[in-house]
Structure 1
Amino acid sequence: MSMDVQQRIAQLTQELNSYNYQYYVLANSVISDYDFDQKLKELEALEREHPHYVDPNSPTQKVGGDITQKFNTIRHRWPMMSLGNTYSELELREFDERVRKAVGDQVQYVCELKFDGLSISLTYDNGKLVQAVTRGDGTQGDEVTNNVKTIRSVPHHLKKGDYPDVFEIRGEIFMHRAAFERLNKQREDLGLQTYANPRNFASGTIKLQDPKEVAKRPLDCFLYFLYADNRNKLFNSHWESIEAVKSWGFQICEHTKLCNNIEEIIAFINHWDEARHTLSYDIDGIVIKVNDYAQQEELGFTAKSPRWAISYKYKAERVETMLKSVTYQVGRTGAVTPVANLQPVLLAGTTVKRASLHNANEIARLDLHEGDTVYVEKGGEIIPKVIGVNNEKRATGTAPVVYPSVCPECGEALVRQEGEAVHYCPNEEGCRPQIVGKLQHFIGRKMMDIQGMGDETMETFFKLNLLRKIADIYSLKDHQDELKGLARFGEKSIDNMLAGIEQSKEKPFEKVLFALGIRHVGETIAKKLALHFKNIDNIIAASAEEMAAVQDIGARIAESVFTYLHDPQHLIEIGRLKEAGLNFAIVEKETVLAGTSLSGKTFLISGVFADFSREELAALIESHGGKMLSGISAKLNYLVAGEKMGPSKLAKAEKLNVPIISDQDILNMITP
């Protein structure tokens, strides 16, 4: 009897999953709703009576949980970085050359379809799905676990296997075109607004607050990248990990391929440029990853993306439409950007009304005239841009578009720095978009992250003359009577905002430095300046040359920082922020040393080690007084070399006569 029940549960699970796939993915109804419901009810009854036979992928398990009033924000343990893009075969070959120059010619690549969907990170604990988080800003995202549990291809529980106790697997949530068209038709019939493309539908669905509603919209998911502690001890390569996670029960795209050289990569790209139209889902390119984990570590990361991966994007769709006018936007740094206002046109599934013209040079290159018929495409499939003019359709006697000589907002004469394509308005103290833009930048999520304040709040407070400079934010507590008289500002929202302002004073120095809005200073540069100079006074005292000597800073950024910090108005502002209690110095963490045998010595680690991860080896060196460097230079005392170290580092170390040692040498150096 037990075997009969188990077989019936397995049979119903397989049948119903097959019907679901036919209906939701292929838009093919092979069974009546009544018959489907009867089979589902039978399965539910059997599973209730015999819960030990429930299959993790049973259709009864894909309904979801309670309604989510607000998604929790979760910080990614491993940042979800973006990939560098290219549309050029030449740039792809240059990527391959850079890789081989760094790690040698013995390189394999994994080629994957680039799905046009929503990135997701799934965490499993002892084989159980415990958390699903969206990409968000790459550092933190929204927890959407209950919604993801409704996706039929995402297992809730893994069968016994050799997977780590805790691991994270990354993938892409998407919607098949047939399902998208069917659901969009239903929305149209109900008089609801339709979605522009499957990606938008999938993204909108995963953010619904009711998982039961999510379950009604068929989503699918491919998984493609594994993270775990000591992952390199489990697998040597990305390909090995893909094969493993497939055996654990995850859905991996069947078209992923291991390539041995650049020619095989290009052949794969060319094949899918045509074959992608036969897929049931949308792709917009191919992702190429260095296969070997040790080589990935050797190549490392830039501030935004891994150096061991790149995405090749297929040529964007191009459309033709009429240029109605050109307007100019002034940003927080004073940069004046021309924008093409277009006759609305459908492009890559969305209606485009505006497109970027970049700068004055681009307007001149296009020889743009009023009323021109222009070609528009989406750069990287995201931001529309004007790429050309159909001169055959140009009307006679039309005037060329002339870039303005004065700021369209405040009338100040524009300036253009030598070597730059962008025009700037220098009136930062009196130009409305610059003032408001700086205020909005300062409170932003990656900067001071002031809760209870948003872009509209900054606009409102500027209009009411409550805010003119960023330091004014910390004086708002003195204007509570005025705030209480404002529409849409209740006592609770004011209290929350003031509490958020107070909490922002705890932000570290690098966040404050980024929040100041210095031209060319992003999140990474701010952190490098803070770590190098330790406090704002040291940065102010430094020359532009001293700043430029910091890794990744360079002359242009250094000049911008130097100019900003020697403007009397900016120094007054910094003084006010200091008085308000903001951090203008890094908090040095007290390090308890295990020994001092490596004091005064500098080290760089490269390659793979049998007994240590690179992080463990770095921690060991620092705990005995050594200092880690990020690159090979004359300041480096030792290069700690493991297996598979890149030839370029070896050659540079030998050229500079840097001693090359092993992990065992480190142990000998710290052993009394």
Structure 2
Amino acid sequence: MTMASDSANPYIQDPPTEFDPVETLDQTAAETQVRLLREAIREHDYRYYVKADPLIADRTYDLLFTRLEALEDEFDLVSPDSPTQRVGGEPLDELETIEHTAPMLSIDQSGDEADVRAFDERTHRRLQDGGFDPASIGYVCEPKFDGISLEVVYEDGDLVRAATRGDGYKGDDVTAQIKQIRSIPRKLRGTHPAFLAVRGEVLMPKDGFREHNKDRVERGEEPFANPRNATAGTIRQLDPSVVADRPLDCYFYDIMAYEDETPRPETHSEERSKLQQWGLKIDDKAERVDTIDGAIDYRNRIGEIREDLNYEIDGIVIKVNNTAACESLGATARSIRWAFAYKFPARTEVTQITDIVVQVGRTGRMTPVALLDPVQVGGVTVSRATLHNPGEIDSLGVNIGDTVRVLRAGDVIPYIDEVVEKHTDDTFAFPATCPICGSDVDRDGPLAFCSGGLGCDAQAARAIEHYVSRGGLDIEGFGAERIAQLRDAGLLETLPDLYRLERDALAELEGLGDKSADNLVSEIEAAREPSLSDFLTALSIPEVGSSTAANLAREFGSLTAIADATEDELSAVPDVGPVVATKITTFFENPENQAVIEELRSCGVAPQTVAIDDAGDALTGLTFVFTGSLSVSRSDAQSYVEQHGANATGSVSGNTDYLVIGDNPGQRKQDDADANDVPIFPESEFGDFLSDYDIVWPPSE
């Protein structure tokens, strides 16, 4: 394929941004405009992603792209190789395995200069044995990218397949994913070989990695440890659209297979030039050197600018320049003999803060997190470290751009020990409003809290996870992945949405079906009348765990009474006290929390009341869990034992005394009981047990 000249294509240089209405074009005119737009967009992709020398503004590019989409749609001109088809694609069931056109062997490596010189001596000796003059060949030196190696195959200039390195002989088919990376052309440029297989490195640039990790942390997700992990995790995604949304790039550096009437380039230097002519991105830091001393000097110079590069490298690669000499040198079973990687020393605990983001927990507590240039700490790659709270920031005097020393508390949790070098004289200014919902930030000594309550998306998301967890209402089937799936589908934004989930909508989700949807709906229905103590625990009230919730339930008897209680009244409850009492009243006075609780009630959620002091305390000190269909509702059973002084929780733990089971009991609770040596009572035996305490079972209406 030969690219049309700029003068022949009006959409390359100073393209128009206003177009005639689509409906005024006939089929022939539309086909011509589509052809020119495709050529132009491919050219602009090349100039932007490969040459880093764009001809037009991003806004202009978007207008051209939108015009092409409109024409393809109106005149039914969509084709698989169109630039509009790069983003998207159907999710894959699994990654297939395909064989490489040639082995993708590894490279011997070392950080010791003596090993590099030994490689040079071996190479010279073998070249002389093969009839070559080592002094006339020299080396090509390139940065050693810290990414994911892959093979990309072109037939007649069209990208037909791509695979990861795998075991060197076959790898995962990632063609659909690779097509989403804009720096990898779907069509080669200019006069190209009939068949070409090239080796490249997919990576995530540092600036894109920092921004992507920042987004993940702000969403409450775990950040990637380093750009390589981010790249690997992305390139193996079964949904190609995920790849399209992440900032991946690719550099090419070797020809693996070549078939054409014109001969293959004779040196790696010429290969690099050809790769660029065909539209494949190469790195401009490569150099040709005559001797191993030149290669060592190159490595030292690249090491000095390593931190300034926008991609991670862990050394350089030294290659024999002459391709015929490379073929003569051959390979061992695992590595090629004509190249060597001269590695850099591993980074140590000192690194730079690239950003500081603030996470919001389920109780509103705001935790600043420092995002770091990845650094080795105790043999583990660290890319973030907690700053704990605003007080810690002030104590350290830390800010974005500062160079810091990172340690790991107990060899586990990374934290910033000290600022080694200030980037500016300023200290990071902790936000006065929540970065998620915009609500005011309340300060409590060194701590900070979002005042948005359950109206804050971050608190709501984490509150849902807690609400359905074993520490909340123990609604089975709602793990973190299921909740994330429901939120992504727009079905579960707030706690009340949980009770609005419909069976048919659930059954349509990937990984679910009619039976699983029925089970989820049944679990939700069973959680409409929770015990008061479980509901209090599930609401994510700061400092209110199961024990405090049980005490509150016994003391006040209803949710309304607890919400209306004064701090003095709350403080008098065992296990509460003045500090917790303030947190409880603050929670119930928050308008957003009030609105969510009222909405839960309108969805039919009715926490059971507890009769106060009318049944004695015969069961004080005992904790029960109920599962299965009983002769009374589960919530009535919980309220009944609480009236007699016991605790009733939704999940089995080491603190549980008895598990009471009715018909069709949940297997998980029984497994937990076995694991914690908790006695299991069928309902009939439970009645006999209660009779020993002069308590009648089942409770009367």
**Is TM-score (shorter-chain normalized) higher than 0.5?**
no
Q: What TM bracket, shorter-length normalisation?
A: 0.3 to 0.5
Larger Rg: 2
TM-score (norm 2): 0.42
TM-score (norm 1): 0.43
